[in-house]
Amino acid sequence: MNHPPVLLRTLTDLRANTASWHSEGLTVGMIPTMGALHDGHLALVEEARRRVDRVVATIFVNPTQFGPKEDFTAYPRTEASDVAKLATLGVEAVFAPNAAEMYPPGHATTISLAGPALGLETDYRPHFFAGVATVVAKLLLGGFPDIAMFGEKDYQQLLVVRQMVKDLRLPTEIVALPTVREPDGLALSSRNAYLSPDERRTAPKLASVLNETAAAIRAGGDHAHHLRHGFNALESAGFRPDYLELRNAETLASPAESSGEPLRLLVAAWLGKTRLIDNIAV
């Protein structure tokens, strides 16, 4: 039976907690989350468990990464059950601050991004990565973990965070894990809970179209043709795609045809009122 995690509400307590672990010579891993934990998050916790001595998960629905018309208010908040799940995995601490702790009155600093933050999500959610980068920087500076875990499901976010950590020389290694999927291929996401039973039946088509398009690109021929075909297939299945794009897997720059560079295929599409994202290596 594991001890329940210690619940930390302030950045001062987060700092004191990890500092005391570090002073004992223990290594620390952080899993930043917005809660509503699913098996994808739990895989990150388990991997951190294997790599470090102490694990702290953070739960904070970060207002600055939501646009005015987005789902900030509706976003699922399930702290008690999240903490119970983290307890079963032996997580030692949970940092769950409120908005005033992270953004006290007068808070005026936001991280400004370029590089991998350009295009894709930013074209549709211009506020998103500044909010993510700012809160992740505050969390990493709050705890100075040795490693922090991120899922490849949010691939652009992963590269944005990696670039930020490199540019700001933050002393944390960013560890990425592959997307965890349902048996039918749907990428796990807290937003899958918004899908109606009908939409849930359609949703795995997002991953099938990604796989089919990636296979066609690998087989050769004109990228733009394959991407158009994939986009049309999504529309025929009932999605309203924002984008289906092929990018350099390391920089997210647009690739040259037949350049041999590592490629990533990324998609965002609406199914009813739910926006789903996914990506795969090509």
In the window 148-177, what residues touch ligand PAF (CB under 6 A)?
Answer: 154, 157
Tell me the residue type at 76.
P
* Minimum distance of ligand PAF from residue 75's CB (angstroms): 10
Decide: 84 and 56 in contact? Cβ < 8 Å: no
Among 17, 18, 62, 163, binds ligand PAF (CB under 6 A): 62
Q: How far is the CB of 48 from ligand PAF (least distance, A)?
A: 14
Residue 54 CA to residue 31 CA, distance in Å, equals: 11
Applying CB under 6 A, the site for ligand PAF has a residue count of 10
Q: Which amino acid is at 189?
A: S
Q: Would you count residue 135 as binding ligand PAF (CB under 6 A)? A: yes
Residue type, 266: L
31 vs 209 by CB, closer to ligand PAF:
31
Can you tell me which of 8, 30, 34, 42 binds ligand PAF, judged by CB under 6 A?
Answer: 34
Which is nearer to ligand PAF, 189 or 213 (by Cβ)?
189
Indicate the residue among 157 and 192 with the shorter CB distance to ligand PAF: 157
> Choosing from 22, 41, 226, 229, which is the catalytic residue?
41
Q: Which residues of 101-120 are buried (b: 16+ CB within 10 A; e: fewer)?
A: bbbeeeeeeebebeebbbbb
Q: Does 32 bind ligand PAF (CB under 6 A)?
A: yes
| Alpha carbons 243 and 206: distance in angstroms, whole number | 12
41 in active site = yes
Residue (32 or 255) nearer to ligand PAF, CB: 32
**Residue 132 engages ligand PAF in binding (rule: CB under 6 A):** yes
Long-range CB contact pairs, 121-130, < 8 A, 24+: 121/156, 121/157, 121/268, 121/277, 123/242, 123/243, 124/242, 124/243, 124/268, 125/67, 125/70, 126/67, 127/64, 127/65, 127/66, 127/67, 128/65, 128/67, 129/65, 129/156, 129/157, 129/160, 130/64
Of 154 and 245, CB closest to ligand PAF: 154
Quick check: 269 binds ligand PAF (CB under 6 A)? no
Distance between CA atoms of residues 220 and 258, nearest Å:
9
Contact segment (CB under 6 A) with ligand PAF among 22-30, 31-39, 76-84, 191-199 equals 31-39
For residues 65 to 94, the per-residue mask of contacts with ligand PAF, x marking binding by CB under 6 A and - elsewhere, is x-----------------------------
How far apart are the C-alpha atoms of 179 and 158, rounded to whole Å?
Answer: 12
Residue closer to ligand PAF (CB basis): 18 or 62: 62
* Paired tokens of 32: 């930043």
Catalytic machinery residues: 41
Contact positions vs ligand PAF (CB under 6 A): 32-34, 62, 65, 132, 135-136, 154, 157
